[in-house]
């Protein structure tokens, strides 16, 4: 991964069941610490996601996720999407956390 690298992600639309394709550019990358991407979302909106691991004083880590959606009527769109895909989003976050833990198995970092 490198800054400005472009990747494509595929998501199943929970409303229609169809696959959606999104192209994103890496906007933040710090090995073992942070990863962020941004790109076109839908209906002319831009989205961004930044994931960070922050070391805590007890030697564990806090995994932070930052999301954003910009563009005309974004607030309405965000509310609508959140209402439709809340469970899928929670599942994504659990699976992402498990994947990060598998890539960076620093046991002292992770809360039980």
pLDDT (average), residues 32-48? 80
- What pLDDT does residue 86 have? 66
pLDDT of residue 28 exceeding 80, the answer is yes
DSSP string computed for 30-98: ETTTEEEEEEE-STT-EEEEEEEEEE-TTS-EEEEEEEEEESTTHHHHHHHHHHHHHHHHHHHHHHHHH
pLDDT (average), residues 66-75? 68
The CATH number that applies at residue 75 is 3.30.530
Residue 1: inside a domain:
no
pLDDT of residue 111 exceeding 60, the answer is no
- What pLDDT does residue 53 have? 85
- What pLDDT does residue 77 have? 62
What's the pTM value of the predicted model, to 2 decimals?
A: 0.60
Residue 38: inside a domain:
yes
Residue 12: inside a domain:
yes
For residue 12, the enclosing domain spans 6-109
Query: What's the domain count of the chain?
Result: 1
Residue 63: inside a domain:
yes
């Amino acid at each position: 991964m490198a800054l400005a690298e472009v990747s494509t992600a595929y998501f199943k639309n929970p409303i229609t069941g169809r696959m959606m394709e999104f192209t994103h550019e890496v906007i933040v990358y710090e090995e073992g610490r942070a990863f962020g991407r941004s790109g076109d979302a839908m209906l002319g909106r831009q989205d961004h996601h930044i994931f960070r691991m922050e070391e805590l004083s007890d030697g564990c880590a806090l995994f932070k996720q930052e999301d954003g959606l910009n563009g005309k009527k974004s607030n309405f769109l965000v509310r609508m999407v959140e209402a439709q895909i809340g469970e899928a989003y929670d599942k994504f976050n659990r699976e992402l956390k498990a994947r990060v833990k598998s890539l960076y198995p620093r046991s002292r970092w992770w809360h039980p």
